[in-house]
Amino acid sequence: MSKPIVELFARKDCTLCNLPGCTLCKEAVAVIGRTSEEMAFTCKEIDIDTSEDLARRFKGEIPTIFLNGKKVFKFKVEEAEFKKKVRNEIIKAGITRLRNKRFS
């Protein structure tokens, strides 16, 4: 079974947000980290400041979290909802695998 892929688009340097006291990126990393202790998924952290295109695309919309290519959160990540979405993707992958095995 393939693991779900979580992509976190954020800034490594939160001082560039120009929002005093903003901790949204750090909070998103913490939620994803705690969830990864309970569920198997692949996580990719992407620093939007490494590319002009990413900086333009996500300016003012960080953190943004994608799950298997679909945007699932922007700004605040609700832990219970994130776990539910990851769990659903794991279940979906298992069902697809079983279905493919059955019809092979």
Domain residue limits at 20: 5-102
Assign residue 73 the CATH number of its domain: 3.40.30.10
% of residues, the chain, pLDDT over 90: 58
DSSP the chain: -PPPEEEEEE-S-GGGG--TT--HHHHHHHHHHHHHTTS--EEEEEEGGG-HHHHHHHTT--SEEEETTEEEEES---HHHHHHHHHHHHHHHHHHHHHHHHT-
What pLDDT, on the 0 to 100 scale, is given for residue 22?
Answer: 73
What pLDDT, on the 0 to 100 scale, is given for residue 103?
Answer: 58
What pLDDT, on the 0 to 100 scale, is given for residue 24?
Answer: 87
What pLDDT, on the 0 to 100 scale, is given for residue 19?
Answer: 56
Number of separate domains in the chain: 1
